[in-house]
Amino acid sequence: MVKALLVAAVSSGQGKTTITAALARKLVRLGKRVRVFKCGPDFIDPMLLERASGAPVRSLDLWMVGQDLCAQQLAQAAAEVDVILIEGVMGLYDGTPSSADLARAFGVPVMAVIDAGAMAQTAGALVLGLRDYGPVEMAGVIANRVASEGHAKMVAASLRDIPLFATLPKQAKSLPERHLGLVLPGEVADIDQLLDDLADQLVFDESAWNKLREVDFAPAPAPTPAATAPLTGKTIAIARDAAFMFLYPANVDVLRALGATLTYFSPLANEAVPAQADAVYLPGGYPELHAEQLSQATRWQTSIRAAHAAGLPIVAECGGMMALADTLADKNGAIWNMAGLLPGAVAMQPRLAGLGPQGLPTPQGVLRGHTFHYSTLDTKVEPAAYTVKHPSAIQGEAWYRVGTLTASYFHAYFPSNPVATAALFLRSET
């Protein structure tokens, strides 16, 4: 039994991540062992939540991750910590499956975050609607951007039988953002001071906290061990730096479970693909922010071309694919030469170009994941396949093959199909 909350809101932009980070940091400073999860596909918010809680942050999603693996992760965490916090995605009922679906699947009470900056008593109507629409079990409310103690009392009075759990005042300094979400924690010089300040300003009702019921996460069935480890003896080189950091920790776990030895290198530092590599993995990230530096990384570019010419499997996702095009136009319109393994030109767009859960059909079954990008690729290469959007089942992202390179805007979640994952990193027998 463990205290557990799903932190949700009526929409994005209400302050869920800020509140979850503040609550995690406050509980840690109170001596609690805290584990935070992120609902839905996300790379950046988990980095901040890991910094706030001091523990790894994994993904929970009933479709992409699957209910069994979600149950295993929650049960393991419950055996190790005092508190589990799950940050929801978008609005409480948005998506198929939604954050509310996850809360109901595991009996987790919901903590509603509301932006009270431009409302008072209407907060009650909003929260009661959030509770009753599903319905969900509503544990309480955290009101963000509260102006005064009097303002907080008006909000609390409007909630009727739902407790006002905590309040956070309007912030003079907020967590900085860019086109794919929050700025990375490592780029904010005073991030720990900022998190401590948020924790200090979170006015917290300890009596309401003590009344929260505990959740019983029943031990989940142990994962079935793989019959074989098809990547045994293979070394996979993974690009890892400020341009390539969107990597699910679970993907790394799966590659190791499949038998692979992992090594890391930095294209931004002009490091070559390691000589011992049998395959290369270029995850997503922010190559558009480092395009000039990447264009000048001639040693890296020469090495990835040589790896391709030598027939090494290369898996490039989103930002990884962008770095392998002929050129990359940044948000200012400057055009930079990239590695040139995928003929075509990438250009940043002012609007979102792709978003949402998708699955890639493979001979080994569907490999699930998601897409989220602001750039487009103009190429004459014919796609070898397309992903399928969930739940609409309409055509999603193009998936390209150029020799031993596979590239797409699609971010794969490897635990959804380890057999298909292994096939991506093995040389074809044909």
Token look-up 């419950």 returns: 78
Q: Give burial (CB, 10 Å; 0-12/13-18/19+) of 383.
A: middle
Residue 170 main-chain phi, psi, to 5 deg: -60, 140
Active site residue 39: no
Q: What is the DSSP string of 7-56?
A: EEESSTTSSHHHHHHHHHHHHHHTT--EEEEEESS-SHHHHHHHHHHSS-
> Helix/strand/coil (H, E, C) string of 109-137?
CEEEEEECCCCCCHHHHHHHHHHHHCCCC
Q: Is 206 exposed, middle or buried (0-12, 13-18, 19+ CB in 10 A)?
A: exposed
Residue 82 is given by DSSP the state S
The CA distance from 426 to 36, in Å, is 34
What CA dihedral angle connects 222, 224, 230 and 235, to 10 degrees?
-10
Distances (CA, A) of 25 to 45, 85, 193: 14, 11, 11
CA dihedral (21, 23, 26, 27) positive or negative: negative
HSE at residue 347, side-chain half, CA atoms within 13 A, is 11
H/E stretch holding 403 reads none
Helix axes 99-106, 67-78, angle to 10 degrees: 60
Tokens of 55: 């523990």
- E strand map for 330-374: 335-337, 342-348, 354-362, 365-373
What's the CA gap between 418 and 400, in Å, rounded? 20
Q: Please tell me the distance from the alpha carbon of residue 220 to that of residue 66, in angstroms, as a whole number.
A: 13
- The catalytically annotated residue of 84, 318, 322, 360 is 318
Instruction: Look at residue 212 and give its three-state secondary structure.
Output: coil
DSSP-derived secondary structure letter, 415? G
Show which residues are catalytic.
318
